[in-house]
Structure 1
Amino acid sequence: MQHPVSKQIAYGVQTRVMVYALSKKLEIVLKALNVLIRCDASIQIGLGHVTRCLVLANELKAKGHNVYFAQKDYELGIQKVTEQGFHYFLPPMPFNYHQWITSLAAQLSVNIFIGDVRDGLAIKTIESLKQENILTVAIDEPSDYRKACDLCFYPPHAQLSKLDWSGFTGEIKQGLEYVLLRPEFYSKNVLNPAKKTYRDILVMMGGTDPMRLTLPIINKLLMVHNIKIHTIISQDHPDRLTIINTDTKVYYGVSNMCNFLKTINYAVISFGVTAYELIALGIPATHILLNSDHKTASQYFYKQKLAMPLHINNIKENPTIIEPTLNINRYGIEQCLIVKKILKEARNAV
């Protein structure tokens, strides 16, 4: 028979062990994690990768985590990141991609690495990060390094079966709930649907429009009567003054894209994240396809009568850029689940 005092001591030890275990678990839950995001923006690359990574970064920051960017020396990307108060790190010279990322991860005690870049990031770099117990994440990534990542997130249009997944042991998440939009586009924040008459037309070939497509598309639309043409284009774009002289309303640095798009009835865009912002608001569109990836991606929208695809080489020959039979309802995109999933997996790894 156990002595009462021994029983009390045993109970006390057991209680202290449970309290310690709970306190350690709470410490993990409350711990601020260090996140390193690898992405770029330039006139050639465009703004899409940095824009969606900033959505991720701001959500992580709002939850109390530390977010850093690893960027190449492209002025546009650096500008966008610093405007929102994030620190960035440039690669030392001579450039060694693997050494740059692994050394930076060690320097910052990184817990999570997020890649949204298509510039030769190697599988061995991801494997080295994983050996240091760093959660590795790829965003809408066709590059080979995804095959070594723990988590891969994709929008609905991605044709994953066409990619080589040999050796992949991670987890893939695909769907509208894994599309990174600015917070104002999620259905709980969208207060009114778009208008259904095609009077206000937006032309947006990306913020930088490196192929100078905005002006020829506007010239084509000028043949259509009773419409107002709007465009968002950089202040130093070589065609900006010519576009202004066409009586097009020109914008730059739109602070709330959701509110701006609510004034638009139809959009002509180069394919990108804007395609999802438009369906979130119920705005039909023509997708200008710049490459084979855009053609594949746009098929998801075309099959559901959400948009009309138009290849860049067919702009001059096409009788009209606007497709009048598109009249979609707003898709309610409730929220993006990427951050929730990342943090859950990172907590398990800590």
Structure 2
Amino acid sequence: MSAMRVVFRADASLQIGSGHVMRCLTLAEALRGRGAECHFICREHPGHLLEVIRQRGFAVSALPAGVSGYQPSAEQGEPLPAHSAWLGCDWQTDARQTSEVLSTVQPDWLVLDHYALDLRWESAVKPHYRHLLVIDDLADRVHVCDLLLDQNLGREVHDYAGLVPEHCSVLAGPKYALLRPEFAALREYSLQRRQQPQLRNILITMGGVDQPNATGQVLEALKNCPLPDDCRISVIMGLQAPWLKQVKELAVTMPWPTEVLVNINDMAQRMVDCDLAIGAAGSTSWERCCLGVPTLMAVLADNQVEIGEALSRRGAAALIGNPVDNGFRTECIARLSEILFDEDKLKELSRASAAVADGAGGRIITEYMF
């Protein structure tokens, strides 16, 4: 019997960020562990991750970079997805180019993780795949998929009523979050070490791109906080982050030892070792929850607003707002000062976040696909 073939259509860019491709890589690795052959199709936007995909051992077909500043126009009165500009071209062009790859691979499953595409694109490439999995976070457009994953906290199956076919299985909520297996493996140890909380190791992780330089603003805010003398700060960034050089220069001026790490492959261990994370409300949120990491959370994009607010309502993170707001640094200082010497608050944040996700999502989803 031949191996299952799976093709992923997802992009990374300075505008889109890295989260879509990274969670697809997590699923691809889980599928490969069960014998599947996985192939990626990605545009060469500035900030793409094609080499990262290849380094992980997956084949990848590169589509031409989109037009800078591309602005799509609605067709015959039919509105396009809100994020259509992210594609960098019209959906018909993308469908044609994607179909050329699909026709040679002939996948059993196509996995689509792209806010710019909907049922029109999915229908156009349908002759070239057997089953379709859509990974979404927005519930704002129609799909013709067989399986849909929305891993956001507060999302319910009924949110996709009328947006997917009746036969489609909808997996909603962080219990299905795509996390690498090391997070589940380290969960028990991480939760155990937080029974006696302290604040000696702070981890700052604002995603692979961090377009608004939230990292730099957080570091400036920390300078005005009474952190313990023996505190250490670790900053994790992507190689494509536009503010990487400035953050490295700022790290040297910090009153506490501050390291800047790029494209690390031991994120789970770094999170386990930290006492507090200051991070974005993106897909990394579920990694922090799995490990019960107390978190101050920034909202860096519109699609992160719901995640941040839902985690805040659960007491699973303390919101510090959006770095484009004038009061961002002040809010960061205030929130940090609240928990700096409050062990109970750290325990509460850890306990509430650990209840959100346990790291089993990848296994569950691969079972659906097989």
Question: What is the TM-score with the length of structure 1 in the denominator?
Answer: 0.81
CA 1:165–1:59: 2 relative to 1, 3 Å: same
Partner SS state of residue 224, structure 1: coil
Paired residues of 2:41 and 2:62 also in contact (CA < 8 A): yes
Select 2:285's aligned residue among 258, 275, 281.
275
In structure 1, the partner of 2:245 is: 238
Shift in Å, 1:79? 1.6
CA distance in 2, matches of 1:126, 1:297: 26
CA distance in 2, matches of 1:181, 1:140: 16
CA distance in 2, matches of 1:156, 1:292: 14
Deviates more, 1:50-59 or 1:83-92: 83-92
CA distance in 1, matches of 2:129, 2:251: 52
Shift in Å, 1:102? 2.3
In structure 2, the partner of 1:11 is: none
In structure 2, the partner of 1:50 is: 21
CA 1:128–1:43: 2 relative to 1, 3 Å: closer
Shift in Å, 1:63? 1.6
Partner SS state of residue 191, structure 1: helix
Partner SS state of residue 71, structure 1: strand
Cα distance per residue 1:175-199 (max 9 Å; x no partner): 3331001110115765343441122
Shift in Å, 1:152? 0.4
CA 1:238–1:86: 2 relative to 1, 3 Å: same
CA distance in 1, matches of 2:212, 2:304: 15
In structure 1, the partner of 2:225 is: 224
Gaps of 5+ in 2: 67-88, 340-344
Shift in Å, 1:61? 1.5
In structure 1, the partner of 2:330 is: 317
Where in structure 2 are the equivalents of 1:1-350 lying within 5 Å? 27=1, 31-74=2-45, 76-91=48-63, 96-119=93-116, 121-131=117-127, 134-142=130-138, 147-157=143-153, 159=155, 165-166=162-163, 168-169=165-166, 170-187=168-185, 190-193=188-191, 194-195=193-194, 196-225=197-226, 226=228, 227-234=231-238, 237-239=244-246, 240-246=248-254, 247-312=257-322, 313=325, 314-318=327-331, 319-322=333-336, 323-324=338-339, 325-327=345-347, 328-329=350-351, 330-331=354-355, 333=358, 335-336=360-361, 337-343=364-370
CA 1:113–1:205: 2 relative to 1, 3 Å: same
Paired-residue identity, %: 21
In structure 2, the partner of 1:19 is: none
Partner SS state of residue 49, structure 2: helix
CA 1:186–1:136: 2 relative to 1, 3 Å: same
Partner SS state of residue 249, structure 1: strand
Aligned residues: 313
Cα distance per residue 1:254-283 (max 9 Å; x no partner): 221111111101111111122111121111
Deviates more, 1:324-333 or 1:132-141: 324-333
CA distance in 2, matches of 1:166, 1:71: 25
Shift in Å, 1:204? 1.4
Paired residues of 2:278 and 2:295 also in contact (CA < 8 A): yes
Aligned-residue CA RMSD in angstroms? 2.6
Shift in Å, 1:341? 0.7
Deviates more, 1:234-243 or 1:202-211: 234-243
Question: What is the TM-score with the length of structure 2 in the denominator?
Answer: 0.76
Gaps of 5+ in 1: 1-26, 344-350
